[in-house]
Amino acid sequence: MLSTSKHITVPYDAMDISKRSQELAVLLELSNLLCWSQSLNDVLHNGLALVLKHLNLDAGRLYLMDDSGKYLNLAASLGVNTTGLKQVSLNEGFTGQAARNRQFIAQHVSELADKARVRLLTKKGFQVVICVPLIALDQVVGVLNLAARKLVRLTPQTIDLLIVMGNQIAVAANNARLNEELKEKARQLEEQKTAIQFFAYTASHDLKSPAVGIFGLTQRLQRQFGAALAEKGKELCGQILKAASRIESLTREINAYIAAKEGPRRLETVDLNELLEGLEREYGPVMRQRQIQWRRPAQLPAIRCERLALTRVLQNLMDNALKYGGPGLASIEVTYRQDEGQHVLGVKDDGVGLDPRSAERLFEAFQRGETAMGTEGTGLGLAIVREVARRHGGRAWLESAPGQGAAVFISIAQEQAPGAGGA
**CB contact at 8 A, 95 and 145:** yes
Taking alpha carbons only, the member of 14, 26, 76 closest to residue 51 is: 26
DSSP classification of residue 373:
T
Q: Into which CATH architecture does domain 14-183 fall?
A: 2-Layer Sandwich (3.30)
Cα distances from 156 to residues 23, 67, 89, 322, in angstroms, run 12, 33, 29, 81
Closest by CA to 214, choosing from 250, 245, 235, 254, is: 245
**Pairwise CA distance, residues 107 & 110, whole Å:** 8
Asked if pLDDT for residue 255 goes beyond 70, the answer is no
Per CATH, the homologous superfamily of domain 266-413 is Histidine kinase-like ATPase, C-terminal domain (3.30.565.10)
Handedness of CA 107, 111, 117, 123 (dihedral sign): positive
Would residue 375 be called left, alpha or beta, if left means φ above 0 and alpha means ψ between -120 and 50 degrees? beta
pLDDT tens digits along 385-411: 888 898 889 999 988 878 788 899 999
Predicted confidence at residue 76, as pLDDT, reads: 92
293-295/331-339 β-pairing: parallel
pLDDT digits (tens, 9 = 90+) for 14-68: 666 666 667 777 777 778 777 776 788 888 888 899 899 888 899 999 999 998 8
Tell me if 311 sits within 8 A of 275, measured CB to CB: yes
| Mean pLDDT of the chain, nearest integer | 80
Of 421 and 34, more confident: 34
Q: Identify the band that residue 183 occupies on the pLDDT scale cut at 50, 70 and 90.
A: confident
Question: What is the pLDDT at residue 366?
Answer: 52
Classified as helix, coil or strand, 270 is strand
87-143, pLDDT tens digit by residue?
888 988 888 888 999 999 998 888 877 787 788 788 888 889 899 999 988 889 999
Ranges 95-109, 312-326, 369-383: which has the least confidence: 369-383
Percentages helix, strand, coil for the chain (3-state, rounded to 5) are 50, 20, 30
Cβ atoms of 253 and 384 closer than 8 Å = yes
Residue count (the chain): 423
Determine the Cα–Cα distance for residues 138 and 128; give it in Å rounded to an integer.
Answer: 28
Dihedral sign, Cα of residue 114, residue 118, residue 119, residue 124: positive
Question: 369 pLDDT exceeds 60?
Answer: no
Are the C-beta atoms of residues 332 and 347 closer than 8 Å to each other? yes
Task: Report the percent of the chain where pLDDT is more than 90.
Answer: 24
Q: Are strands 396-400 and 268-271 parallel, antiparallel or unpaired?
A: unpaired
Tell me whether residue 115 is exposed, middle or buried, using C-beta atoms within 10 angstroms of its C-beta: 0 to 12, 13 to 18, 19 or more.
exposed
Report whether pLDDT(308) > 60.
Answer: yes
Q: Is residue 65 within 8 Å of 100, Cβ to Cβ? A: no
Is residue 331 within 8 Å of residue 350, measured between CB atoms? yes
The whole-number pLDDT of residue 410 equals 92
Per-domain boundaries in the chain:
14-183, 188-243, 266-413
The answer to whether the beta carbons of residues 333 and 406 sit under 8 Å apart is no
